[in-house]
A and B are shown apart, each in its own frame.
Chain A
Amino acid sequence: MDKRGVARLQLGLSYAFLVILAVLVLFPFYWMTVTSFKSETQMRSLVSMFWPSPFASENYEHLVRKTDFVGWYGNSVFVSVSSTLLAISIGTVGAYALARLKFLGRGFLASATLITYLVPPSILFIPLYAQIRNLGLADSLTGLIVAYPSFTVPFVTWLLMGYFESIPEELEEAAMIDGATRFGAFWRVVLPLSAPGVLAAALYAFTQAWNEFLYALVFITNVKLRTLPVGLSTFITGDVYGWGYLMAGAVLTTLPVIAAYIYLQKYMVEGLTAGSVKG
C-alpha cells in the first residue's frame, strides 16, 4: 500500500472507532433523557422504544410534587458550593506556600498532601464518621461540608502547586523589588495569573462534592437532609413507574455538572491532566 493509502486507512479506522466510542459514551445519557419523558403507559407497553410518544412531563411533575427531590437539590447545591469555597481558600494559600515559599517541613508537607489525595475514602469513611459525630455534626449538612475538604483540599492543592510552579518566579521578584510585600506579590501577581487554574480546581472540587455518594450515605439519616446521589439511589423500587421519575431526577442531577463542563471544557481538560498527571 502506498503512503496515501495508509493515511486514508488510518483516518477511516479513526472515524470508525470514534463512532463506536461516541455511541457507547452517549447512549446511556440519551436513554436516561428519553425515559424521563415517557409516560407510564408507554413504558409498560414497550412501544416506540427509542422516542417518547407522546412527550410526557408526568415524571418531572411527580418528582417535584411527590418526592423530596427539590429539597435534596437545595442540599446538594448548598453542600457543594460551601465545601468548594472552603477547599479553594484553604488549597490556594497552601499550594502557594508549598510551591514557592521556603520554610522548614515544606517537602514533607508536599508529600503528605499528595499521599492524602491518594488515600481512598473507603478506608476512611467509618472513622471519619466517628470523628464527625464527635464534633456534633452527624446527620447535618455542615458535617458533609466539613468532611468533603478531606478529599477536595489535597486535590486542589496538588493541582494548584503545579500551576504556581509554572509561573515564572521573576514576576514576583520584580514586584517585590518594586516594593510589594511577599503577600502582595502573591495576591496581585500570582493569583490573577493563575485564575484559570483556580477556576478549574474549583470546578473539580464542586463536581467531586456534587457527585459524592459514600459519605453522604453514611453521615446522613434524615430523609430531608439527603443530597442528590443518595436521594436518587433510594428511588430504586423495581417497578416501571419508578424508573420514569428516577431518570427525570438523574437528568436534573447531571445537568449542572455537564453544563459547567461544556461551558468551561478548556480549563477542565487542562486541569484534569495537570492535576493528576503531568507529561
Chain B
Amino acid sequence: MPDDQSFDLAGCLGRVRQRDQTAARELVEHLHPLVIRIVRAHLPRRVSEEDLAQDIFLKMFTRIDQYQGAVPFTHWVSRIAVTTCIDQLRAQKRRPELRWADLSERETDVLDSAITNENDVAPDEALAARELVQKLLGQLKPEDRMVIQYLDLDQKSIAEISQLTGWNKTLVKVRAFRARRKLQRFYRELTEKEHA
C-alpha cells in the first residue's frame, strides 16, 4: 500500500533508475492500490482496468527520470493516472444519453427512493446507488466527472484534488461549479422524463 511506512520508496526509485527489475516489480506492487482506485473511479466503458493500469505504470517508468521530487511521488503517479484516464475517456468522445429504460430495476428503485424519500437510501442498495451515480457521472465531460468523483464520492478537499490532478485550486472550483450545474440538469432531465 502507498501508505505503508516500511516501504523504502526513495531507495526503490534509485534501484529502478539503475534498471533493477526486482525494484520495478516492488514499486508496481506498492503503487497498485493507489493506481487501481483511480482507474476504477474513472474507468471508461469497454476498457479493461488491468490494461489501463498497465498503461499508467508504463508511462510512469518511461518518465521516471523526469521525476525531480518537487511533489510527493504518489501525487506525481496520481497525476499520470488521472491524465491517462482522461485521455481514454476523451478518446470515447460520444457519451450516450442516459434514459430511464437504461437503468436496472434496483437502480430505478434507488433513484425513486432518493427523489421521494426524506430518509437516506437503504444500506442494501449501496451497490446499485454507486452504479447509478457512475452512470450519471458518465454523462459528464472527463474533467467534470473527475472533479465530482473526487468531491462528492471520495470527499476530497479542493486542495487535495489540486494536488492529485495538478490543476490549480481556482480551476478545480470552476470545474466543480460547472460540473454540478450540468449534473443537476442531467439528473433533473432523467427524473422529469420518467415522472412527466
- A and B assemble together: no
